[in-house]
Chains A and B, each alone.
Chain A
Amino acid sequence: MPHSIEKDFTYSFDTKTTTSSLKVPLTVPLHISAKEFVSRLVHLHNLPCFVQQDLEDKLEEFVAKETIQLHDKNADDAIQKVKTGEIDSDDLIRQWLPVYSQELKSYAKPYQLSKDEKFAEVYHNLIHSPALETLLNLEHEYSLGVDKLTRERDRDLQHLQDKQRADMDEALQNVGSIYKDEDINLLAQKQFENTQIVEGKWSSELRALHEQQKNEYREWVFQVHEDSKGKAPLPAYVQRLRSLSSTLPDAGVDERQAHVTRLEESFTIHLGAQMKTTHNLRLLCTDILDLCRHKPHTVGGMVIPQPQRLQTAMSLYSNNLCGLILLADNRLNSYTGIKQKFAQICDSSTDFHFPTLDSQLQTIEQQLPKAAEVKAKKKGGNDDMDQLSLHSTSSSSSEEKEKSGDKKLHSGDFYLTKHSNLSEVHVVFHVVSDDNLRTSDITSRHPVILSIRNIIKLCFRYDINTLTVPLLLTHEMSEEMTISWCMKRAELMFKCVKGFMIEMATYSSQESKTIQFLVPRGLSEELFHQISNMIPTIFRLSNPLVVKSN
């Protein structure tokens, strides 16, 4: 059913001796005014000016008539199709129903806040009220509880390990005399089982503690919220509040000093050719997990939460989130390397808002088949393009991959976990990377860099205003990272991120973002300064404020 149709318009007029006629094709509906079309005709066919008005009237009439006919024909066709049964009317109604019930508020089911969201709302209110300090202290108390348990666990496991080692040593010494080889194997197996049992016991204990704390905490929060809503001017709630906050002694002078100063430098930059948007960049040198981990912080001898914690808690449900990019391998678990360390940090206190890391990973796993489907579809749809964008993944045996199927993560994919108990981060993007990141010749089309683009896009879409990016795309210094390697990588990343920022800012609001470029600890101070000197050559810094003496 066409939106427009080509029609021939004929017009004739008389002059003294001859009758001239004109036939032109035109598209109905006409997208310019009849007047303009007529002036085109007049120019083109050199028509006399006295026919202009008449021609215009005729044309207008013609277009109006044809337009109505076009609409009528389209409409009648549609009706006819239903009447003749070519289109099934029940089917049609079935198509119509969701359109109204899912898109119009007046037809949709009223939205029910989930339990988590109700809690979120209450929490967000409380954290922006005088109860803030109490909340944080309470959270901190709980985290100390967890801390205690984990320490016990570690001690226990250590103890077990020591004992097992001693047993094993002894057994090995006596191989051949008292023990046979099979006995050793048996012992090893038994020890392993024991460890598993003990670990299992501790982890279930930890889980139970998390669960218990979470429930208690949530209950408490709702309770306080109820109290504060109550008409009687805040008796119970204030008292609870006071009792907690009054126990805090004043800070000692030495304690106010920051513990470790990390190397960092900040820049304010402008992006864009004509319209400039202002953003902040920060280059910092530290371990990436330092942004997650709560450091012990004492005031007057008492361990209390860090100040960053306050910021993170207050902005959790706001439109100002903090994100972090963590490079991960292509397995969705947390058994090894940095993933394991990260998981330990997550478990070191209770997340009162979001599911545990494990269950978040499970949720993610459920999405994998869907993703695989989309990927397969894209692959089928456009082979060439796919090859182009995927050529850098190690696709030696793509068929094998297909088989092992839907659950595989590919380089450049990322999964996202949300946390409320990390020190400076709400959202962690786990980018699946591969080994060729270590080589020095990666390009801007490398999957990990493309993935960073996707992440920056998400940041613009979901109000993540601070994003931490591992500048060198590694979390640790290693041998092959020479000065030139680092400089090259840094330059590539700066340029790519700049490009992505400009791209994403095109159609979105003029919000300013903060990008933190993180270099691993162990980078020499000199190299750090070299990298930071590179920033002004790649980004346009905002105008320096020059103080003049006169």
Chain B
Amino acid sequence: MPALGSAEFGVRTFYAASHPNDKCGPNGLPLTPNSVKILGRFQYLTTLSHPRLCQYLDISKTKHECMIVISEHHKSSVKEKLNSGQGLSENAAVSLGFQILEGLTFLHEKNVVHRNLSMDNILIEKQGNIKLSEYGLYYMTDYGADVSFPIGLPHYMAPEVLCSGPLKVDEDSGQCIQPISGPKVDVWSFGIILLELLLGREVWSGLSLQETFVKLMLLIKSDMSPLDYLCQDASLSEKLKGTSKELKDLLRLCLTVSSSKRATSEEVKQHPIFRSSRENAVAHKREFDIFTAEVRSADLELPTYEETIANDFSDDHLSQRSMQEVYYLWRLAGGDLDGALRKAGMSKTRPPIHLLPCYGILDGDVFGQDRDNAELLNNTVITLSQEQLRFRLREIPATAYYPLLEDESKYLSENQLPASPSYGDLANSATLPLVIREKDVDYQFHRIILFERLLNAYPFKRPYIWREARVDIPPLVRAHVWAAILEVEGDLEGWYTSIDKETPTATDRQIEVDIPRCHQYHELLSSPTAHAKFKRVLKAWVLSNPQYVYWQGLDSLCAPFLALSFNSEALAFACLSAFIPKYLHKFFLRDNSAVIQEYLAVFSHLISFHDPELGNHLDGIGFIPDLYAIPWFLTMYAHVFPLHKIVHLWDTLLLGNSSFPLCIGVAILQQLRDRLLSFGFNECILLFSDMPEIDIERCVQDSIRIFCSTPKSATYRQHARPLKPKNSTDRPNVSYYSRDYHDQPQTDLSMEPIPLEELKSEKYPRISAEDLIELGELAGSANSRSPTKKRQNSKPMILILDVRHHEEYKRGTLQGSINIPFQTAFSPEGELNPCPAVQILNSRRNQVIVVVGNRGRFAANFANELVRLGYSRVCVLHKGIDIFRTTNLLIIPPADI
């Protein structure tokens, strides 16, 4: 995306044609509104960046199919040059013409036909270079089929366009019946424009619409060459007399009626007359891409100091930022599109009561309605004032635009926020709710700049990105930050291209059925463009993972990635490919029941562990996780929430390990706790069939809390992803807890697979001896594996409860444990018999209770009873006390407690 420079933001509106009532497409679903189609097609245009083109920035859709397009804009246009009345000199016209051609050839190379070239939309920027604008209208409207107005002005209309007649739309396909205009129509328009530049006035000035058409028609029908035909006009031939033969030749090349004889834009550009222009032209540099196998700094040239000075080093640092970024900040700084349009009188519509029809029939057709004149195409461009944004950012010092990443002193500091003079403010902002931070222009400004620099240094700066992402992720750069967190790197485009996404396969049908139901409230994702992309990405995933199958839900998983990296299917695909093994290892096996069953069993353990009351209630009414939680986990909540909530959830989820999603599940249940406790089975089913609103930020905070208070081995699953071969050192080892359990080396004291039956019969999680040692600091705090200094609450406190016979306990137990022998613990009513040890147990209720027994079922039964009694955070030591025999951690308890 090019830098802002001296560009302004221009806004145009137009109305998409509305469909006749209740028409259905070939798939039986209602037709997609044209506005949504346009929205989808538009996205490609934002990827076109060229110095001779006005950058497209954004599109939005308002009520009644009105589209608002925001693009780069410059105030003066070539038309003003024309209005001076004087024609340009041959040299001036040629050099202007060459610049237009540069833009046109770039467009044609990218398969975009302008079709709309006219004097009005050839703009001139401050330095005097030209920029084409409005070049995407023909493309984004599906070659004019989605709008009811014609594209291109009659003056510049190529003969074949005129002869094809006004556009007609095929009722069934929604596409135009006439052939789509080829790039050569632009060459004709270019010829006319060149002629007008020389002439200093319009070729057919002062003619009415009809007269223009008649003239053009006569020109087409005559056998003279168009240039000769036009030269019948005395003033024109006068003007052309003085010009070189080469120029006339060029004009003839362009102004040829027959398309096959007309030159292409590239051929015109190679015309001898442009020789010197071509030599002086600066090659257009390719966009910087962080995911590539090429050497990214190959043609990096650092300007010398002198050059920088010579290039008029400006104090306007904002203008050095990318246009998209400035536009994003503009919106945050209170930039109000509707307001600007209203002020300019562009959004003025007639009151709806005047437009209402007066009669409607059963089939839905209505009669007697009025058309709103506001729907006619209005070519006015509104420029958005950047004043407010600049005012908001005026206090920001120049250094904040160029933050240093390699400053060692800050690198080590506790707080991870970028250091800037307004640092104090930022630290404050960082504690505000996320929704507010995302709307705070100052805060976002700093965050975006920081992330942008970090991403440029990706993958080298991955640990830094990781750390910053723990604070928050600015929405503007989210797609790339997620990719960085998922450790995506390399030549994604090449990888994606090499997968065959076109050949039909057996899963196509299911994919086609699922896509039109996946997050369709999202305007972008409901467009046909998105559907096509969806299909390609999903097919690519299925093909590149032959061991897996397509399960419904994969579409939901794909949606957040596709919505974020809409213009890069490869990136969306790569993220999806990295995400699934991390969180959903083996979930997409043809027979995934063992994997899912284990996952759900662990989930119910976790519910009981954190909320035994709720767990007991749900168990009691038979509302087991199988009934509601499978779509949660299979889609990592992407099927449950709307996209704007998913992104916030995943911002945190991506930083957590593969067990974190379980904690989110518990957090969701806790938010609905009151209702669930009061509900019976049927009401619970009803509640989850249509998920109530969930406060996502609270959910995220809760799940982090739950995660931190859960011993790592409690969420052990044998089907989780096994240890990765390479031990990535990229990610900072910030805490013992955010690592996957499987990433730690295995020892005798580690967790091991438990048969599913056993897992399901238990109401509590098991923890490993290793975890017990860690949590109880049995080996002394120096041996702790977590490198970060623990705060008081960063790690759960534990209480070790030895349930063996008192004699056995006497012979040797773990340090700090208390003893309640199982045989004597419970009264006939099932209550705990009071004794000093029970008092200790009751007084330390918020701690993790580790029930330790030996090989028998004592520990298991004891723990089940505790859960039944509503004790929270009960777990059992896996394999009992015997496992400690080989260690030297067993001690003789002090006499009598």
B365: A residues at CB distance < 8 A: 371, 374
- Asked whether any CB of chain B lies closer than 8 Å to the CB of A410, the reply is yes
What distance in Å separates the Cβ of A96 from its nearest Cβ neighbour in chain B?
Answer: 6
Nearest to A37 among chain B residues (CB) is B502
Chain A, residues 284-312, CB within 8 Å of chain B (1/0): the string is 00000000000000000000000000000
Q: A2-B179, A96-B162 are in contact. Are A454 and B693 (CB under 8 A)?
A: no
B643: A residues at CB distance < 8 A: 274-275
Chain B, residues 470-505, CB within 8 Å of chain A (1/0): the string is 000000000000000000000000000111111100
Q: A93-B210, A104-B150, A462-B352 are in contact. Are A74 and B179 (CB under 8 A)?
A: yes
Task: Judge whether B64 and A461 touch: CB under 8 Å.
Answer: yes
- Asked whether any CB of chain A lies closer than 8 Å to the CB of B214, the reply is yes
Give the contacting residue for A93; candidates B160, B217, B639; CB below 8 A: B217
Nearest to A447 among chain B residues (CB) is B362
- Asked whether any CB of chain A lies closer than 8 Å to the CB of B305, the reply is no
Task: Judge whether B209 and A97 touch: CB under 8 Å.
Answer: yes
Q: Which of A71, A116, A319, A546 has the most C-beta atoms of chain B within 10 angstroms of its own C-beta?
A: A71
Nearest to A108 among chain B residues (CB) is B376
Task: Judge whether A375 and B363 touch: CB under 8 Å.
Answer: yes
Task: Judge whether B497 and A72 touch: CB under 8 Å.
Answer: no
B33: A residues at CB distance < 8 A: 507
- List 20 other contacts, CB 8 Å, given A83-B220, A368-B359: A40-B500, A67-B182, A75-B179, A75-B182, A75-B185, A79-B159, A93-B213, A100-B150, A120-B351, A275-B642, A317-B351, A364-B359, A367-B358, A416-B357, A417-B358, A458-B357, A462-B352, A462-B356, A507-B33, A509-B63
Give the contact-size bracket for chain A.
35 or more
Q: Which of B359, B499, B686 has the most C-beta atoms of chain A within 10 angstroms of its own C-beta?
A: B359
Contact segment of A27-35, A174-182, A210-218: A27-35
Task: Judge whether A105 and B260 touch: CB under 8 Å.
Answer: no
Q: Which of A87, A100, A414, A453 has the most C-beta atoms of chain B within 10 angstroms of its own C-beta?
A: A100
Task: Judge whether A317 and B376 touch: CB under 8 Å.
Answer: no
- Asked whether any CB of chain B lies closer than 8 Å to the CB of A101, the reply is yes
Give the contacting residue for B178; candidates A1, A44, A89, A426; CB below 8 A: A1
Give the contacting residue for A410; candidates B36, B264, B361; CB below 8 A: B361
Can you list 14 A-B contacts (CB < 8 A)?
Answer: A2-B179, A73-B260, A75-B184, A76-B258, A78-B163, A82-B163, A124-B351, A274-B639, A316-B353, A389-B362, A454-B360, A455-B360, A507-B32, A540-B692
A461 to B370, CA, bound (A): 13
Task: Judge whether B377 and A104 touch: CB under 8 Å.
Answer: yes
Task: Judge whether A3 and B175 touch: CB under 8 Å.
Answer: yes
Task: Judge whether A276 and B693 touch: CB under 8 Å.
Answer: yes
Task: Judge whether A92 and B163 touch: CB under 8 Å.
Answer: yes
Q: A32-B502, A317-B351, A418-B353 are in contact. Are A1 and B179 (CB under 8 A)?
A: yes
A29: B residues at CB distance < 8 A: 111
Docked complex: A434-478 residues within 8 A CB-CB of B:
447, 450-451, 453-455, 457-458, 461-464
- Asked whether any CB of chain B lies closer than 8 Å to the CB of A68, the reply is yes
Give the contacting residue for B163; candidates A79, A276, A507; CB below 8 A: A79
B167: A residues at CB distance < 8 A: 99
- Asked whether any CB of chain B lies closer than 8 Å to the CB of A173, the reply is no
Task: Judge whether A39 and B498 touch: CB under 8 Å.
Answer: yes
What distance in Å separates the Cβ of A276 from its nearest Cβ neighbour in chain B?
Answer: 6
Q: A100-B150, A100-B154, A274-B519 are in contact. Are A416 and B360 (CB under 8 A)?
A: yes
Chain A, residues 358-375, CB within 8 Å of chain B (1/0): the string is 001001100110110011
Give the contacting residue for A87; candidates B62, B165, B180; CB below 8 A: B165
A89: B residues at CB distance < 8 A: 217, 221
Q: A39-B500, A117-B350 are in contact. Are A367 and B359 (CB under 8 A)?
A: yes
A76 to B256, CA, bound (A): 11
Task: Judge whether A68 and B356 touch: CB under 8 Å.
Answer: no
- Asked whether any CB of chain A lies closer than 8 Å to the CB of B641, the reply is yes
Chain B positions within 8 Å of A, measured between CB atoms, are: 30, 32-33, 36, 62-64, 111, 148-150, 154, 158-160, 162-167, 175, 178-185, 209-210, 213-214, 217, 220-221, 257-260, 264, 350-368, 373, 376-379, 497-503, 519-522, 526, 639-643, 674, 686, 690-693
A68: B residues at CB distance < 8 A: 182-184, 264
A464: B residues at CB distance < 8 A: 352
A204 to B167, CA, bound (A): 53
Task: Judge whether A275 and B521 touch: CB under 8 Å.
Answer: yes
Task: Judge whether B363 and A463 touch: CB under 8 Å.
Answer: no
B217: A residues at CB distance < 8 A: 82, 89, 92-93
A92 to B214, CA, bound (A): 10
Nearest to B147 among chain A residues (CB) is A103
Task: Judge whether B368 and A542 touch: CB under 8 Å.
Answer: no
A116 to B355, CA, bound (A): 13
What distance in Å separates the Cβ of B515 from its nearest Cβ neighbour in chain A?
Answer: 15
Chain A, residues 370-393, CB within 8 Å of chain B (1/0): the string is 110011001000000000011000
What distance in Å separates the Cβ of B221 from its nearest Cβ neighbour in chain A?
Answer: 6
A450: B residues at CB distance < 8 A: 362
A66 to B186, CA, bound (A): 19
Task: Judge whether B166 and A374 touch: CB under 8 Å.
Answer: no
A110 to B700, CA, bound (A): 56
A103: B residues at CB distance < 8 A: 148-150, 376-377
What distance in Å separates the Cβ of B520 from its nearest Cβ neighbour in chain A?
Answer: 7
Docked complex: A407-427 residues within 8 A CB-CB of B:
410-418, 426-427
Task: Judge whether A105 and B150 touch: CB under 8 Å.
Answer: no
A454 to B362, CA, bound (A): 8
A73: B residues at CB distance < 8 A: 260
Give the contacting residue for B364; candidates A317, A454, A462; CB below 8 A: A454
B154: A residues at CB distance < 8 A: 96, 100
Task: Judge whether A93 and B378 touch: CB under 8 Å.
Answer: no
A41 to B847, CA, bound (A): 63
Q: Which of A426, A537, A543 has the most C-beta atoms of chain B within 10 angstroms of its own C-beta?
A: A543
- Asked whether any CB of chain B lies closer than 8 Å to the CB of A550, the reply is no
What distance in Å separates the Cβ of A64 from its nearest Cβ neighbour in chain B?
Answer: 9
Task: Judge whether A390 and B183 touch: CB under 8 Å.
Answer: no
- Asked whether any CB of chain B lies closer than 8 Å to the CB of A257, the reply is no
What distance in Å separates the Cβ of A251 from its nearest Cβ neighbour in chain B?
Answer: 32
- Asked whether any CB of chain B lies closer than 8 Å to the CB of A260, the reply is no
Docked complex: A1-60 residues within 8 A CB-CB of B:
1-3, 29, 32-33, 35-36, 39-40, 43-44
Nearest to B378 among chain A residues (CB) is A105
B210: A residues at CB distance < 8 A: 93, 97
Task: Judge whether B260 and A111 touch: CB under 8 Å.
Answer: no
Nearest to A72 among chain B residues (CB) is B260
Please name the 8 residue pairs, one residue from A and one from B, whose CB atoms are nearest each other, closest first.
A71-B182, A75-B160, A75-B259, A74-B179, A412-B362, A103-B149, A275-B521, A72-B260
Q: Which of B33, B158, B360 has the most C-beta atoms of chain A within 10 angstroms of its own C-beta?
A: B360
A124: B residues at CB distance < 8 A: 351
What distance in Å separates the Cβ of B245 from its nearest Cβ neighbour in chain A?
Answer: 27
Nearest to B675 among chain A residues (CB) is A544
A454 to B365, CA, bound (A): 9
Task: Judge whether B220 and A360 touch: CB under 8 Å.
Answer: no
Nearest to A270 among chain B residues (CB) is B693
B373: A residues at CB distance < 8 A: 108, 111
Chain A, residues 492-517, CB within 8 Å of chain B (1/0): the string is 00000000000000111100000000
B209: A residues at CB distance < 8 A: 97, 100-101, 107
A318: B residues at CB distance < 8 A: 351
A39: B residues at CB distance < 8 A: 497-500
- Asked whether any CB of chain B lies closer than 8 Å to the CB of A128, the reply is no
Give the contacting residue for A79; candidates B257, B497, B502; CB below 8 A: B257
Task: Judge whether B640 and A543 touch: CB under 8 Å.
Answer: no
Nearest to B672 among chain A residues (CB) is A543
- Asked whether any CB of chain B lies closer than 8 Å to the CB of A129, the reply is no
Task: Judge whether A540 and B363 touch: CB under 8 Å.
Answer: no
Give the contacting residue for A76; candidates B30, B259, B351; CB below 8 A: B259
- Asked whether any CB of chain B lies closer than 8 Å to the CB of A230, the reply is no
B501: A residues at CB distance < 8 A: 36
Task: Judge whether A36 and B497 touch: CB under 8 Å.
Answer: yes
Task: Judge whether A96 and B213 touch: CB under 8 Å.
Answer: yes
A96 to B360, CA, bound (A): 31
